[in-house]
Amino acid sequence: MLSVNRFEPQPQDRLFNSEAFFRLHAPDCAFYFQWMLKGRVAMCLHVSEVATAQVRSPRRGTFGAVSFFEDVALPELEAFLLGVTRFLQQQGIRRLELLLPPAAHADERVAEQHFVLRSLGFSETLCDVNYAISVDERPLSQRLNYANRKRLNKCVRDGFSAGPMDASSLAEVYELIQRNRQSKGYPMTMTLPQLSEMQTLFPAQVLLYGCHAGDTLAAAALCLQVSPAVLYVFYWGDDAQFSGYSPVTLLADAIYSDCQHKGVALLDIGTASEDGQANQGLIRFKRGLGCEASLKFRLEKILEP
């Protein structure tokens, strides 16, 4: 049974599909869908208006589409998505966009979502390549290419250290990453106040990491625990004065080790393409860290009146 904007109790560990994340970014025209089975929430999905008669899942966030809380069969997934599209049609919505998680996110059954959406008439309007590291018992050093192993060893040999940082370090982390991105011509997609608000709302899911040379922050990362199984590197970067060391390599090692300690299955480093066009430098960098590629799709359907 379809439930709309009722916010029935459900696990809140899928960051981008949590009630709090939805409320944080929802405009006036927004809908939070839940699929009820035997009195419990089996699946959820939310959409927000991004243009007249056009909604997207999610409005903000790296991906949306369906999150699963029960082991539902494909006919239930199809019924849920049909219910969502019919409801939106009745509300006068004419275009629905869904940003699927990367295919490597096994807990979100991406292949099955993609298949069912295609069977319901959705089509791909964007394909990006995403990179992630499957976390296992091996140290990251065994996954790195030769050049990155040399960088890692150089940082360790010269006394660099890396690990989690306290939440109070957000401004310091943000400033370093902002400088790094500006030097490469990349904008910051979120302001410091916006990230501070997210940190307040999701203290266990907004995580900071740093690499220090003595007392100086040489590299930093802001990560999001998007699900129990996946840690996502939202932003990271290093200080230009340490470019000869590439301290992000030691930082990646510390984040990976933290994933091992916490039982996180996947360290998602993000896409290496923009609007479907490959960034070859980013691809080389992420492959050198031991990442494997998977596809990330945006699907769309025109809803007839």
Q: Assess whether 140 and 253 both reside in one domain.
A: yes
How many Cα atoms within 13 Å fall on the side-chain side of residue 225? 20
Tell me whether residue 274 is in a domain: no
What average pLDDT does range 241-253 have in this prediction? 94
Number of domains in the chain: 2
DSSP state of 289: T
Q: Residue 85 belongs to what domain range? A: 2-127+296-302
Q: Assess whether 100 and 152 both reside in one domain.
A: no
What average pLDDT does range 275-303 have in this prediction? 94
Tokens of 89: 């049609």
Least confident of 10-14, 65-69, 161-165: 10-14
Tell me whether residue 169 is in a domain: yes
pLDDT above 70 coverage of the chain, percent: 100
Q: Which residue has the higher pLDDT, 13 or 51?
A: 51
Tell me whether residue 60 is in a domain: yes
DSSP state of 19: H
Residue type at 66 in one-letter notation: V
The whole-number pLDDT of residue 107 equals 79
Residue 7, by phi and psi: left (phi above 0), alpha (psi -120 to 50) or beta? left
pLDDT of 253-269, one tens digit each?
A: 999 999 999 999 999 99
In the predicted structure, residue 305 carries a pLDDT above the cut 80: no
Tell me whether residue 249 is in a domain: yes
